[in-house]
Amino acid sequence: MCGIIGYTGSETAQEVITDALTTLEYRGYDSAGLALSGSKSRSIDIYKCAGRVSDLKSMLEKKMKPADREATCGVGHTRWATHGGVTDTNAHPHRVGTVTLVHNGIIENYRELTDEFRLKGKLKSETDTEVVAGVLDSFYAESEDPKKAIAETVKELKGTFALVVMFANYPDVVFAVRNVSPIVATQSPQGSMLASDLTALTRFTDRYFVLPEYTIAELHRSALYLWTLNGKPVEPEWLTMDWEKNSADKGGYPFYMEKEIDEQPEGIRKTVEPRLKDGIPDFSCDELDESILTDTEEITVAACGTAMHTGLVFQNLARKILHTEVNVCLASEYMYGEPVVGEKTLLIAVSQSGETIDTLEAVKYAKKRGARTLGIINVRGSSIARECESVLFTNAGPEIAVASTKAYTTQLSLFYLLIARIAYLKGIWDEDKVRDFTAHLCRTPDAVDEVLNIRKDIHIIARNILEASDLFMIGRGLDYAALQEGSLKLKEVSYIHSEAYASGELKHGPIALITEETPVVALATQESLLKKGLSNVREVRSRGASVVLFVKNAMSEGLEQEFNIVRLPDLPDEFMVFPAACALQLLAYYVSSDKGFDVDKPRNLAKVVTVE
Ligand code: M6R
């Protein structure tokens, strides 16, 4: 949460920083700001406002000093508010004395620091960040040494932070330091730059490194240095981005969400194909030590939101195919349940960003107690990827829309490969059975493509729920698992209160809420559950609900006379979650876009959740 930038180089800082902020805006869009050091005036000027980066740009057009138009050094911030309301004053950067900074994270002891460093009269905002600026300014006043001041300051801080700092006496230099909250950095002929995530760096280079925790970065126009807190030099560990250069562009789509829904067939293929050898799943490209799969006895999936929902599908398949119980935990609740964890535990952490703090904490908790840890992650070099013992990377490419789509189906595809590999390793399936399973998995991208080809029908069906303020999504078995994701998608982008319910459970309470004003979205893709599922759908229809039914084509005969239906392409039941997911994503997308909402940046949300 919150996107931060630092740049010093040969380009116009204002342009580099506002471009990067636009890219990072998915991390928070309550306010935006930047600080520029004018190459002529040598002063550091701050421009900031509540609102979007576009508001900041308008402000710059009207108010920016001429010298700042040529500035070549600066820091920038896009905010997801934690301490203090969404106001101009609370927007970053913050300045106290000689120090100007931006921050991502939460400083837990900001009240104590305010008292200890006698900052009360000096602070203008309600933020924890400004307190850090105050502490840093106090230490700087003692030594006039930026690195020493930073080292002293971070020793005082409790909490998580990524700080990007400018000092008045060093107007061409940017400093940074972090604990937990991410920072990646690069050096190129155009200058030195750092940011909260990779999407902001693609403009210049595909080389980057992750700033190690409690290490000071010192960025100059044509050089970049890293230091320990004790002043010893550190060599960066350079990595190469595996994303194509323009993969974070909108590519002519009105919204990233639609683009990313469309990218799913390719994402699934790119995730699955390199991991199949003659039809048998093979994780040698991931350097996976397979004892993690064979020597563990208890599997837990810990993740948040959409990522957690992939665990529900895995749980369902693992029971049926591997005869293994899988716990699926909300990462934010994991440690409070005091789970029984030991050396025979396999904790699978699923995360698109690899930065979700709750998931990261769950991994640390399990590791500490001896568990083996496996990440299913989209972003290389991310914190969770580095924390896990082994990682399987999804090849989804950058996901920019706050609503997760292609991450979900690519994470699922890895779980399907894991199921087949474990079944193979444990002798549950012979090679033929494994090949048969993976052959169906390889057909899922085509099935998703077929759904994309009927998007117009889904758009028309979406009109049935446009005016709803509450609705239910109902289904049984794997459909119920898929609907939990479909329901999250709808509520987060359309603001319709949607609840996924197991069809059989409706009569135990929630059916009392069904009226003519409560549409029901039903999913029926599991042949053995069709009859029971349909009678539940008829029960809600008899109580006035209008029903939209997503049904597997082969099971759809005659149903169009009873319901508004969308036919989903035929795959064996256990693979139907792929086309179903895509159809429900499109439903949510069209409701949101038809209502005129900012589909990619839903109210109150942020793409990367780095605060607990
Ligand atoms: O980056 P992660 O996969 O760890 O993110 C987890 C959730 O925050 C994320 O899936 C969230 O639920 C999405 N907004 C859902 O669309």
Residue 82: pLDDT band by 50, 70, 90 thresholds?
Answer: confident
Asked whether the CA dihedral 503, 507, 510, 513 is positive or negative, the reply is positive
Mean pLDDT of 407-412: 98
List the structure tokens of 494: 């359309």
Mean pLDDT of 565-571: 97
One-letter-per-residue 3-state SS of 320-371:
HHHCCCEEEEEHHHHHHHCCCCCCCEEEEEEECCCCCHHHHHHHHHHHHCCC
Give the number of the atom of ligand 1 that is nearest the alpha carbon of residue 352: 3
List of domains in the chain: 3-241 (3.60.20.10), 259-446 (3.40.50.10490), 455-594 (3.40.50.10490)
The DSSP bridge partners found for residue 176 are 164, 217
Residue 348: CA count within 13 A, CB half-sphere: 28
- Say whether pLDDT at 248 is over 90: no
- Say whether pLDDT at 351 is over 80: yes
pLDDT of residue 217: 98
- Say whether pLDDT at 222 is over 70: yes
Q: How far is CA 228 from the centre of its chain?
A: 30
- Say whether pLDDT at 202 is over 70: yes
Supply the angle between the helices 146-156 and 128-143 in degrees, to the nearest 10. Answer: 130
List the structure tokens of 271: 């995730």
Q: Decide the pairing of beta strands 326-330 and 298-303.
A: parallel
Q: Which of 609, 610, 611, 612 to mutate to test the pocket of ligand 1 (most atoms within 8 A of CB)?
A: 609
pLDDT digits 0-9 by tens, 294-335: 999 999 999 999 999 999 999 999 999 999 999 999 999 999
3-state SS class at 533: helix
Mean pLDDT of 8-27: 95
pLDDT digits 0-9 by tens, 579-601: 999 999 999 999 999 999 999 99
Ligand 1 centroid, distance to 267 Cα (angstroms): 17
Q: What is the largest CA-CA distance in the chain?
A: 81
Task: Tell me if 9 sits within 8 A of 16, measured CB to CB.
Answer: yes
| Tally of helices (H runs) and strands (E runs) in the chain | 19, 27
- Say whether pLDDT at 206 is over 90: no
pLDDT of residue 255: 97
Ligand 1 centroid, distance to 485 Cα (angstroms): 11
Q: Is 304 in the pocket of ligand 1 (CB under 6 A)?
A: yes
- Say whether pLDDT at 41 is over 70: no
Q: Is 536 in the pocket of ligand 1 (CB under 6 A)?
A: no
CA distance 590 to 548: 15
Give the number of the atom of ligand 1 that is nearest the alpha carbon of residue 384: 4
Region of poorest pLDDT, from 41-55, 262-276, 368-382? 41-55
- Say whether pLDDT at 77 is over 70: yes
pLDDT of residue 134: 97
> Which helix (H) or strand (E) is 408 found in, with range?
helix 406-425
DSSP 124: -
CA distance 110 to 123: 12
Phi, psi of 103 (to 5 degrees): -145, 140
Number of Cβ atoms within 10 Å of the Cβ of 81? 20
Residue 203: pLDDT band by 50, 70, 90 thresholds?
Answer: confident
Q: How far is CA 227 from the centre of its chain?
A: 30
CA distance 160 to 82: 13
- The beta strand positions in 51-97, using DSSP E, are 73-79, 94-96
Asked whether the CA dihedral 365, 368, 371, 376 is positive or negative, the reply is positive
Residue 209: CA count within 13 A, CB half-sphere: 16
Q: Is 360 in the pocket of ligand 1 (CB under 6 A)?
A: no
pLDDT of residue 456: 97
- Say whether pLDDT at 543 is over 90: yes
> Looking at ligand 1, which residue's alpha carbon is closest to its atom 4?
351
pLDDT of residue 348: 98
- Say whether pLDDT at 241 is over 90: no
Catalytic residues: 2, 607
Mean pLDDT of 499-506: 96
Q: Is 296 in the pocket of ligand 1 (CB under 6 A)?
A: no
Residue 1: pLDDT band by 50, 70, 90 thresholds?
Answer: confident
Region of poorest pLDDT, from 31-40, 148-157, 177-186, 488-497? 31-40
Q: Is 199 in the pocket of ligand 1 (CB under 6 A)?
A: no
Q: Is 402 in the pocket of ligand 1 (CB under 6 A)?
A: yes
- The beta strand positions in 44-190, using DSSP E, are 44-50, 73-79, 94-96, 99-107, 159-167, 174-179, 184-188
- Say whether pLDDT at 273 is over 90: yes
CA distance 255 to 241: 24
Mean pLDDT taken over the chain: 95
Residue 157: CA count within 13 A, CB half-sphere: 29
CA distance 439 to 443: 7
Ligand 1 centroid, distance to 602 Cα (angstroms): 13
Ligand 1 centroid, distance to 348 Cα (angstroms): 16
- The beta strand positions in 73-221, using DSSP E, are 73-79, 94-96, 99-107, 159-167, 174-179, 184-188, 191-195, 207-210, 215-220
> Which helix (H) or strand (E) is 473 found in, with range?
strand 470-475
CA distance 474 to 484: 9
Residues 6+ apart with CB under 8 A from 54: none
CA distance 605 to 497: 16
3-state SS class at 187: strand
Task: Tell me if 206 sits within 8 A of 187, measured CB to CB.
Answer: no
What is the percent of the chain where pLDDT is above 90?
Answer: 93
Task: Tell me if 164 sits within 8 A of 101, measured CB to CB.
Answer: yes
pLDDT of residue 271: 98
CA distance between the termini of the chain: 10
